[in-house]
Amino acid sequence: MTGRSVRATLAAAAAALCLACMLLATPARAVPAALLSQQDDASDSALLQRVILCSDMHAPLTNTPDTTAIRVYGSSPLSTLTVLVTRDPAALDVDGLRSAGCQSPTSVPLPAGHAAFLVNFWRVATVDKAIGLQALSKLAEIGGRATSLVGDAHLSLVTLPHENVLALEQLLVDAEKERLIVAPAVSTRLSEKLELVGAFAAPVTSDIVDRLDGERYLGHLAKLTGVEPFTLPATGSKEYTIKTRMSTTSDNALAADFLAAHCSALGLQVEFQTLKVSGKETRNVVCKHLGRVTPSKIVVVGAHFDSTSQSAATLAPGAVDNGSGTAGVMAIAEVIADVQFNHTIHLVFFTGEEQGLYGSQHYVDQAVKAKLDITCALIMDMIGYSDLYFGVMVEGTRDAPIQTLMTNVVANMKVYAPALDVSTSSNSFGSDHIPFQRANIPAILAIEQDDTDYPSYHRTTDTVSNVNEAQSIAILRGLTGTLISAAGVLNATISAI
């Protein structure tokens, strides 16, 4: 972690991000599905009897004990909708909705036990327990019933039985279609599981996230910090021990080989990027998981693996900063390796962060030069220390695309790590998300809330004993959920919340 001693002051100045703020959509090729109901709780599901649709962005977000409102934003008023999910549509003031700008409110029956999705009408795919992934051109073939929305014929509300549907994916690749962004309205009756946010899809539960294992995570961390030795495929049974991961040392190069071997063994494509720090060569490690539908689109998950201390040339274990994030990327690599995604995923281990973000800047420069289409970057740094807080700060900027990404991350943290305290900051500085943001690539940083209070920051005492396994895994669960939603899963077990 580079120079974050003033974090507490800045974080206090911008302590919270309003998750219900109106976000403007950015153009995108695929329109995500927005899940509007939940499966598990029968009593809550029974409330979801009808859906009121309004096509004007100025329609009010009204909540009552029996109604919740969710606003879905497109890049034009005709593709902006207010969705009211209600038990008693007769109690709604339809005339009031019209006078407030809701053009021709449409009431659509929503049977109990069904999930409602806002979808692109022309091409839909569903993951069915019996038949697996199927790309379908007619909604009738998946047992859905479509009702065109006012003002935008290519969008439809589809209802599908919960027991048959695990996920709804958009496969249409069309540069003229828009990404719909779902912003939440606070519900007074329905559970938080109904409150949707996100730029890519509604949060879903997935067995991918449940694969994250704390014991394996700590095992990776032990090897990165010199607690345990390791071997490399190229040298057989010879054992190595890392004492420091300072960017210009031979142990940093050894750590890079260790990370590359880990991802290569998982079947990922591994590349090194060579750059210079203080006149000496050092390497990023880029591990690629190729997408099956839109491989040109890339989601980045990254962390810097270099470390520093008052004796950096000889001893810098860097367990919290940033072995915790490095081991986190290794853990995510393990749980996604056998999963097929729509988009390509780059798992990137950056060098040279402690000397000034050299590694991440080099990666971004190369990506810009190659005109890579990076949809977003999820960066983690110092996720393992917990003293006063068991929590994470999601850091971004006030730019709309980044706030959209922040909203998605926060939503997934709430779904996958409900015990974790989640805060946000729009003051980005001091870590590897910065070069992405400067290149206009939506990027966030996930960092522990106690980062400025860590007594072993940049010290030789930054050891594994300081790492809170539970907090690290909780943060990784939220980030993995975000990755799933951003990259689009093709073959995992996914169910509605």
Q: Between 3.40.1000.10, 3.30.428.10, 3.30.360.10, 3.40.630.10, what CATH number should domain 7-16+208-495 receive?
A: 3.40.630.10
Locate CATH 3.40.630.10 in the chain.
7-16+208-495
Taking the C-alpha atoms of residue 32 and residue 38, their distance in angstroms, rounded to an integer, is 17
pLDDT band at 491 (very low <50, low <70, confident <90, very high): low
Displacement of CA 145 from its chain's centroid (Å): 31
> Which of 314-328, 389-403, 408-422 reaches the highest mean pLDDT?
314-328
Taking the C-alpha atoms of residue 354 and residue 277, their distance in angstroms, rounded to an integer, is 10
> E-assigned strands of 290-433?
294-304, 343-350, 373-380, 391-395, 421-425
Taking the C-alpha atoms of residue 160 and residue 110, their distance in angstroms, rounded to an integer, is 9
What's the maximum distance between 2 C-alpha atoms anywhere in the chain? 78
DSSP per position, 52-115: EEE--TTS----BTTEEEEEEE-SSGGG-EEEEEES-GGGS-HHHHHHTT--S-EEEE--TTEE
**pLDDT, tens digit, 9 for 90 and up, residues 370-411:** 999 999 999 999 999 998 889 999 999 988 889 889 988 998
pLDDT band at 415 (very low <50, low <70, confident <90, very high): confident
Distances (CA, A) of 453 to 294, 456, 473: 42, 9, 20
Taking the C-alpha atoms of residue 166 and residue 161, their distance in angstroms, rounded to an integer, is 10
Taking the C-alpha atoms of residue 161 and residue 167, their distance in angstroms, rounded to an integer, is 11
Q: Is the peptide bond before 164 cis (omega within 30 degrees of 0)?
A: no
Residue type present at position 92: L
**Are 492 and 207 spatial neighbours (Cβ–Cβ below 8 Å)?**
yes
**Residue given tokens 């990076």 in the structure block:** 374
Say which DSSP state 270 is in. E
Taking the C-alpha atoms of residue 181 and residue 419, their distance in angstroms, rounded to an integer, is 26
List the structure tokens of 54: 């309004």
Higher pLDDT among residues 23 and 411, named by residue? 411
On the 0-12 / 13-18 / 19+ scale of CB atoms within 10 A, 136 is: middle
**pLDDT, tens digit, 9 for 90 and up, residues 54-86:** 433 333 444 444 444 444 333 333 333 444 444
List the structure tokens of 280: 């000496």
Per-residue pLDDT at 95 exceeds 90 = no
**Residue given tokens 């990922």 in the structure block:** 268
Please provide the size of the chain in residues: 497
List the structure tokens of 329: 């990327």
Residue type present at position 263: C
pLDDT at 82: 46
Taking the C-alpha atoms of residue 413 and residue 447, their distance in angstroms, rounded to an integer, is 13
Q: Which residues of 275-284 are buried (b: 16+ CB within 10 A; e: fewer)?
A: bebeeeebbb
Q: What is the mean pLDDT of the chain?
A: 70
3-state secondary structure of 441: coil
Nearest to 314 by CA among 238, 250, 228: 250
pTM: 0.64
Higher pLDDT among residues 143 and 244, named by residue? 244
pLDDT at 94: 56
Give me the mean pLDDT over the 252-264 stretch.
98
Taking the C-alpha atoms of residue 333 and residue 105, their distance in angstroms, rounded to an integer, is 46
Strands 230-231 and 132-136: unpaired
Nearest to 86 by CA among 105, 67, 71, 114: 67
Taking the C-alpha atoms of residue 484 and residue 497, their distance in angstroms, rounded to an integer, is 14
Distances (CA, A) of 338 to 134, 211, 384: 19, 12, 27
pLDDT band at 90 (very low <50, low <70, confident <90, very high): low
